[in-house]
C-alpha cells in the first residue's frame, strides 16, 4: 500500500496572520479583487453576445459585488428580460451562451486576483 506524507511549512504562521487580519478584512479584500476582475468578464460577455440591435450587448454590466457570510459574489449581468432565452435557448431557438463562457474563460484570472489580494493582505501583518 502506497502512502504519501505532506509537510506544510509556515502553515501555523499563515493561520495566525489570517486570524490577525480577521474574516471581515479578508472578505473585503476578496471583494475588491472580484470587482477588478469583473471588467474582463463584462468585456468578454459583450464580445460573445449575439448582436442584432446592440441592446443586449449594451445592457451587460458588472453586477454589484455582494459580501455574504460564505464569501463574495459578483460577475456580469443584464436586465433584459430576453437575455436568458439567448443564453439558454427557448421555444425551439438555439442557445447562444455569452455570460457563462465569459465567466468560465476568466476563472483562472479571477483566482489569481484572489491569490494576489490574499498575499498582499497577509504581507501587511508583521
Q: What is the pLDDT of residues 41-55, one digit of tens each?
A: 999 999 999 988 999
pTM, two decimal places: 0.78
Percent pLDDT > 70 in the chain is 97
Dihedral sign, Cα of residue 40, residue 43, residue 46, residue 48:
negative
Per-residue model confidence (pLDDT) at position 4? 77
What is the spatial distance between Cα 29 and Cα 40, in angstroms, rounded to a whole number? 19
Amino acid at each position: 500500500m502506497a502512502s504519501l506524507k505532506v509537510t506544510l511549512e509556515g502553515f501555523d504562521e499563515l493561520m495566525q496572520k489570517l486570524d490577525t487580519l480577521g474574516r471581515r478584512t479578508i472578505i473585503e479584500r476578496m471583494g475588491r479583487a472580484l470587482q477588478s476582475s469583473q471588467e474582463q468578464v463584462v468585456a468578454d460577455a459583450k464580445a460573445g453576445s449575439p448582436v442584432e440591435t446592440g441592446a443586449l450587448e449594451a445592457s451587460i454590466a458588472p453586477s454589484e459585488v455582494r459580501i455574504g457570510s460564505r464569501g463574495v459574489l459578483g460577475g456580469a449581468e443584464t436586465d433584459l428580460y430576453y437575455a436568458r432565452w439567448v443564453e439558454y435557448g427557448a421555444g425551439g431557438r438555439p442557445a447562444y451562451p455569452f455570460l457563462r463562457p465569459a465567466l468560465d474563460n476568466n476563472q483562472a484570472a479571477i483566482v489569481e486576483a484572489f491569490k494576489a489580494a490574499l498575499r498582499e493582505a497577509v504581507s501587511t501583518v508583521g
